Amino acid sequence: MILITGAVLTVLVVAGMLFAPTIDRGNPTIWLQILLLLVPVNVAFPSFFNLVENIFLARGDFKTANLVNGGTGVARALAALVACGFFGVTSLQSWAVWWTGIHVAIGLICLAMIWRFGPPRWRVLRREVSLGGSLALSSFLITLRHSVDVLVLSAITTPDFVGVYGAGRRLIGAALVVPGAFDRVIYGKLAVAGRDGPLASLALATKYLPYSIGISAATSVCLFLIAPYMSFVFGHAFVAASDVVRALAWTVIPTAIQFLAFDALNAAEHHKISTIVSGATNAVGAMMVVLLGTTYGTSGIYAALYFSDVSRGGGLWLALSLSARRQRHVAAY
């Protein structure tokens, strides 16, 4: 399924970008080579990495799942460091080769890790269809919220700043691996507690909340401190990216908080509630990005991103608390 959807999306995206009238393509041959390298690895490979991670999660092997999740982020960050910092990669064409190479290498390693499990058994699990649909909708809205800021920036600022902004956002996205890995470590305990309902999940999530905040806060501080030195790695053109990273470094904290509530709800089998709350807050967040971004520029986008992350975290924790209260009320009668 990943190969089929990846191939279809690759054809559609490459065709759309190759013939888009607003894009300065330069040499069409080189532009086609870049697209054929970058589009597949950014469409299909992340889904495959996520599949491998979920295979180990389903088997209760959380350490290996964390290794896949965290190792992928670290490997891509190291690839950028080596390519730009040591080999002086400055052209998009050269970077496309590096980016494709690291993804192919990670993909082969992931394939070797799951090879011992044998071939998959193809069958439809009806219960999983609705769950997969709700998670797909939630993922779509999350992606929409995470992409709309770039679209708004493209309309209100220069292409150079859009590229710089994307580099800063990429670094923050890589940093989210840290609180994400912590969630993977404790998810097994949340799953066990979730068998007794949201009341037990809430109690355990509340217990781990200070640790999640501490880890994410330390990550934010590190981002804030290393931001001015990004230009030494990625070149002088990315000096402005340090301002983006410093402005958004603290979004790691509310994001980590929402991770914990989201996992606690899902561990208690409250998938529909988590999907509805997450989807609604992400949709509102996307609208806020458009509204504040077009009105106040980059400052409005930053404010909208913080609003979106805080509201999503608050909404998920409120939903978890209400679910626990409902369970307590039912048990009392």
The whole-model pTM stands at: 0.75
Residue numbers of the domain that contains 129: 125-333
Question: Any residues with CB less than 8 A from the CB of 186 and at least 6 apart, and which?
Answer: 204, 208
CA distance 152 to 135: 26
DSSP 8-state code for residue 86: I
Q: Could you give the number of structural domains in the chain?
A: 2
**Maximum mean pLDDT: which of 32-36, 236-240, 278-282, 322-326:** 322-326
Last residue of a domain, one of 94, 123, 152: 123
71 and 131 belong to one structural domain: no
Tell me the mean pLDDT in the region 207-226: 93
- What integer pLDDT is reported at residue 155 of this predicted model? 80
Q: Are residues 113 and 135 in the same domain?
A: no
201 has pLDDT over 80 = yes
Do residue 135 and residue 110 come from a single domain? no
Band (332; pLDDT cuts 50, 70, 90): low
Higher per-residue pLDDT: 33 or 256: 256
Boundary-marking domain end, from 105, 123, 141: 123
Residues 163 and 81 placed together within one structural domain of the fold = no
Tell me the per-residue pLDDT of 233-259, one tens digit each, with 9 for 90 and over.
666 666 777 888 899 999 999 999 998
Average pLDDT over residues 216-229: 90
pLDDT of residue 321: 93
Same domain? 93 vs 189: no
Predicted confidence at residue 214, as pLDDT, reads 95
Same domain, yes or no, for 101 and 227? no
Question: Rounded distance, CA 45 to CA 41, Å?
Answer: 5
DSSP for 27-75, written as a single string: SHHHHHHHHHHHHHHHHTHHHHHHHHHHHHHHTT-HHHHHHHHHHHHHH
pLDDT of residue 32: 74
Query: Which parts of the chain are beta strand (E)?
Result: none
Last residue of a domain, which of 108, 123, 138?
A: 123
168 or 19, which is more confident? 168
The two structure tokens encoding residue 79: 């690839």
Distance between CA atoms of 164 and 195, rounded to whole angstroms?
Answer: 45
Same-domain status, 243 and 188: yes
Looking at the fold, whether 149 and 216 belong to one and the same domain comes out as yes
Is residue 107 located within the same domain as residue 133? no
Same domain, 13 and 150: no
Q: What is the mean pLDDT of residues 121-125?
A: 76
Residues 98 and 130 in one domain: no
